[in-house]
Amino acid sequence: MRKKIVAGNWKMNLNLQEGIALAKELNEALTADKPNCDVVICTPFIHLASVVPAVDASIIGVGAENCADKVSGAYTGEVSAAMVASTGAKYVILGHSERRAYYGETEAILKEKVQLALANGLTPIFCIGEVLEERQQGVQNEVVYKQLAGSLYDLSAEDFSKIILAYEPVWAIGTGLTATPEQAQEIHAYIRSTIAEKYGNEVAENTSILYGGSCKASNAKELFANADVDGGLIGGASLKAADFKGIIDAWKE
Ligand code: 13P
């Protein structure tokens, strides 16, 4: 059975003290009322070493929002997968549309990052998704296929099985526009079908595919109710413990 997951992406929000306070508040809330799914919080690099010891690792996993595409050396300002892993973090978001759009991350660069993350024992949360014009042209399936094939489909089945996917339509991120449950289910099912074609049914059935884009407590339940939606990758609504817990609770009856 594939995992149900709710993951937060803090993006470039919260200073260190605010981040530690949020992690502790969430940890307390989830210790008192245990989640029915895996919970992950992905934080800015500098928060990782402080947030990891602030939470119970059996309840909350911690991840980075990015890592370098190089092993080590003269790459001023970069943070390697090995450095991320050395903080105790277990996850790393890769391929977020903001990194693709604003920082020029190509499929080839992301392929390097995925391999380094895996080599360092990190679980990549790999993001894919189309922009509004592509959705309007009806080419969203082709877009996500290219993103998957360009960065992931050279992996062995064993390595691919370690990856969590997040479908995030760019037009739904931070806009208040959410994919309808039908739109989410349709493309998640398509994504799973391409995985099955490439790696077989068992790998496809065991791959968690999260939805991201204006997911909040009020719409999480109807999104997660779909057969191929295995949870969410949450931006804005992960910045307050109560909002985030509301989404985690969507997995409860
Ligand atoms: P929002 O939940 O703020 O729309 O962001 C989604 C996202 O980009 C998560 O990675």
Q: What residues pair up with 38 in beta bridges, in sequence order?
A: 5
pLDDT digits (tens, 9 = 90+) for 142-161: 999 999 999 999 999 999 99
Contacts by 196-202 with C-beta closer than 8 Å and gap 24+?
A: 198/153, 198/160, 199/157, 199/160, 199/161, 200/157
Instruction: Quote the tokens at residue 168.
Output: 């995030």
**Cβ-contact 40, 245 below 8 angstroms:** no
Please indicate whether residue 174, judged by its CB atom, sits closer than 6 Å to ligand 1: yes
Mean of pLDDT values over 27-47: 98
pLDDT digits (tens, 9 = 90+) for 21-33: 999 999 999 999 9
Counting Cα atoms < 13 Å in the Cβ hemisphere of 19 gives 23
Q: What residues pair up with 43 in beta bridges, in sequence order?
A: 64
Q: Domains in the chain, please, with CATH?
A: 5-241 (3.20.20.70)
Please count the helices (runs of H) and the strands (runs of E) in the chain: 12, 8
For position 216, what pLDDT does the model report? 96
Which residue has 């595919």 as its token pair? 209
For position 241, what pLDDT does the model report? 98
pLDDT digits (tens, 9 = 90+) for 48-98: 999 999 999 999 999 999 999 999 999 999 999 999 999 999 999 999 999
Dist CA 157 CA 152 (whole Å)? 10
Atom of ligand 1 nearest to the CA of 173: 4
Residue 112 identity: E
**Cβ-contact 186, 223 below 8 angstroms:** no
pLDDT digits (tens, 9 = 90+) for 107-155: 999 999 999 999 999 999 999 999 999 999 999 999 999 999 999 999 9
When the pLDDT of each residue in the chain is averaged and rounded to a whole number, the result is 97
Please indicate whether residue 63, judged by its CB atom, sits closer than 6 Å to ligand 1: no
CA 168 – ligand 1 centroid, Å: 8
